[in-house]
Amino acid sequence: MSMPQRLFPLDSSKKFTDQQIVGHNRWHPDIPAAVTVKPGDTFRVDCREWFDGAIHNDDSADDVRDAPLTTVHRLSGPFGVEGAEPGDLLIVDILDLGPIPQEDSGPLAGQGWGYTGVFPTRTAGGFLTEQFPDAYKVIWDFNGQRATSRHVPQVSFTGITHPGLMGTAPSAELLARWNRRERALIATDPDRVPPLALPPEPQDAILGSLSGADFDRAAAEAARTAPPRENGGNQDIKNFTRGTRVFYPVFVPGANLSMGDLHFSQGDGEITFCGAIEMGGFIDLHVDLIKGGMDTYGVSENAIFMPGNVEPQYSEWLAFSGTSVTLGGEQRYLDSHLSYQRACLHAIDYLTKFGYAPEQAYMILGAAPIEGRLSGVVDIPNACATVYIPTAIFDFDVRPSAAGPVQVQRGPGVPRSSF
Ligand code: ZN
């Protein structure tokens, strides 16, 4: 089998903006298609890791603390699809993906390694930012499909590789709707740390081939790429792996599909935020169209998809549950977000009994293929969330027993950096 045509090539030794084709890091309908494909085409896309090389393979978290947040995500595209019109569904098959091919060592995430980070509360935080207010970073080494880390001993797992981010361009009307509602949310608590949402930010905007006055106008209104929205976007769905078929709503002529933020692995929720196991790499795609499919199938927004069936066969899990009661003992009403936090904190408490530092346990939950579920959402007043850890990722018996927990060799631990 030959390699699909490489329509969006990236040179690992060059910055994102110095590449042969320059992608983008904001959503805007006026960003011109960088490449045009036809329904039925198969092609390869190179993707840059989301911070464009700012995070290094070392033992300091200073780079995560000082991460250039206005520069993300580096996206490949847009890919215009001939004949696509608003109202169609764009079928995207993920045929294959992985780290940067033939480059198994080097300074860029994706060259045989990737990272998981936690942002400090002051810049962006994470799911458990109250318990983990500083910057943390873990480096994972890739060996085939497996990941191990010098910062998290006695754990190894098979990654479910996936793109954290893929989506179609919004229409001008849809973009305006995003900006209105997100500004309204920010206005409820404009000084909150970390912020409630990210308004358009012209600084560091990259908008493909747009230039001059068109660039300035678009940069002032283009949406940030952090949240998932009606166009897909940064959904961070860990099962978006090889074999996945996605049906994206089309909002602009040509659909203008873009993608990036490749992950070697991720736990459900990407709770560490910076993020899963981040890497650059490649993704092979096949595209097709269902004309008028949005109306035919009732998909006016938010892609539907058929997850790939390539994943590790973990058959035994140790699960933790949580309910919507705060750590301070306050009852909340059916708060699933809180109940998932509590489930994760219970898992962390448990793993520390085996000798892991709390931040090592947090990183395991963020990076390994753990499952998270909304188990109960109706039993007033407590929502119940559960988190499932495959027991086989540990090289020791992690199950409870009368003998008590074995102790891991904690090692140098997780690099941490504060302001
Ligand atoms: Zn990511």
Q: What is the pLDDT of residues 206-243, one digit of tens each?
A: 999 999 999 999 999 999 999 999 999 999 999 999 99
256 in the same domain as 352: no
Q: Residue 267 belongs to a domain with what CATH number?
A: 2.60.120.580
Is 34 in the same domain as 119? yes
Nearest-angstrom CA–CA distance, 316 and 326: 29
Last residue of one domain, picked from the residues 306, 338, 359: 306
Spatial distance between the Cα atoms of 22 and 319, rounded to a whole number of angstroms: 44
* C-alpha of residue 207 to centroid of ligand 1, in Å: 20
416 in any annotated domain: no
Q: 234 CA distance to ligand 1 centroid (A)? A: 8
Rounded to the nearest whole angstrom, what is the distance from the C-alpha of residue 276 to the centroid of ligand 1? 5
User: Do 85 and 140 sit in the same domain of this protein?
Assistant: yes
Distance (Å) from CA 220 to ligand 1 centroid:
24
Is 62 part of any domain? yes
How far, in Å, from the CA of 386 to the mean position of ligand 1?
A: 22
As a whole-number percent, the residues of the chain with pLDDT over 90 amount to: 98
For residue range 31-43, list pLDDT tens digits in order.
999 999 999 999 9
Compute the average pLDDT of residues 246-253: 98
Averaged pLDDT for residues 83-109: 97
Residue 50 in contact with residue 124, Cβ under 8 Å? no
Question: Does the structure show a pLDDT above 80 at 167?
Answer: yes
Residues 328 and 301 in one domain: no
The CA 262 to ligand 1 mean position distance, Å, reads 6
Same-domain check for residues 22 and 148: yes
Residue 415 inside a domain? The answer is: no
Ligand 1 midpoint to CA 363 (Å): 14
Q: What integer is the mean pLDDT of 74-91? A: 98
On whether both 83 and 224 belong to a single domain, the answer is yes
Distance from Cα 187 to the centre of ligand 1, integer Å: 27
- Distance of CA 274 from the midpoint of ligand 1 (Å): 6
pLDDT(361) > 90: yes
Query: Which residues, listed in sequence order, are joined to residue 157 by a DSSP beta bridge?
Result: 147
Separation of CA 51 and ligand 1 centre (Å): 9
Interval between CA 347 and ligand 1 midpoint (Å): 22
Counting residues of the chain whose pLDDT is more than 70, the rounded percentage is 100
The band of 3, judged by pLDDT with boundaries at 50, 70 and 90, is confident
Same domain, 360 and 392: yes
Distance 73 CA to ligand 1 centre (A): 9
For residue 67, pLDDT beyond 80: yes
pLDDT in tens, 295-336: 999 999 999 999 998 889 999 999 999 999 999 999 999 999
Q: What's the confidence (pLDDT) of residue 135?
A: 98
Helix axes 358-367, 336-352, angle to 10 degrees: 120
Residue 1 pLDDT greater than 60, yes or no? no
Domain-embedded: residue 114:
yes
Residues 155 and 230 in one domain: yes
CA of 261 to the centre of ligand 1 (A): 5
- Whether 168 and 241 map to the same domain: the answer is yes
Q: How confident is the model at residue 2 (pLDDT cuts 50, 70, 90)?
A: low
pLDDT value, residue 206? 98
Asked whether residue 189 is assigned to any structural domain, the reply reads: yes
Ligand 1 centre to CA of 292 (Å) is: 32
Domain assignment of residue 71, given as a range? 5-306
Same-domain check for residues 158 and 260: yes
> φ and ψ at 219, to 5 degrees?
-65, -30
The residue among 280, 306, 332 that closes a domain is: 306
Tokens of 141: 């080494």
* CA 401 / ligand 1 centre spacing (Å): 36
- How much distance in Å is there from the Cα of 308 to the middle of ligand 1? 19
Out of 285, 306, 327, pick the residue that ends a domain: 306
What's the 316 CA to ligand 1 centre distance in angstroms?
27
Q: Provide the domain count of the chain.
A: 2
Band of residue 127 on the pLDDT scale cut at 50, 70, 90 = very high
Q: Is residue 412 part of a domain?
A: no
Average pLDDT of the chain to the nearest whole number: 97
Same domain assignment for residues 241 and 350:
no
Measured in Å, residue 173 CA sits from the centre of ligand 1 at 27
CA of 275 to the centre of ligand 1 (A): 5
113 CA → ligand 1 middle, Å: 14
Residues 338 and 238 in one domain: no
Is residue 312 in some structural domain?
no
How far, in Å, are 118, 328, 359 from residue 133 at the CA level?
Answer: 9, 18, 11
How far apart (Å, rounded) are the C-alpha atoms in residues 203 and 257? 23
- The single residue listed with the structure tokens 């009994």 is 353
Gap from CA of 341 to ligand 1 centroid (Å)? 20
DSSP sequence for 133-188: -SEEEEEEEEETTEEEETTEEEEEEE---EEEEEEEPPPHHHHHHHHHHHHHHHHT
Residue 346's domain is classified under what CATH number?
A: 3.10.28
The pLDDT of residue 343 is above 80: yes
Nearest to 60 by CA among 189, 161, 166, 151: 151
Residue 47 CA, ligand 1 centroid: distance in Å: 12
Q: Is residue 187 part of a domain?
A: yes
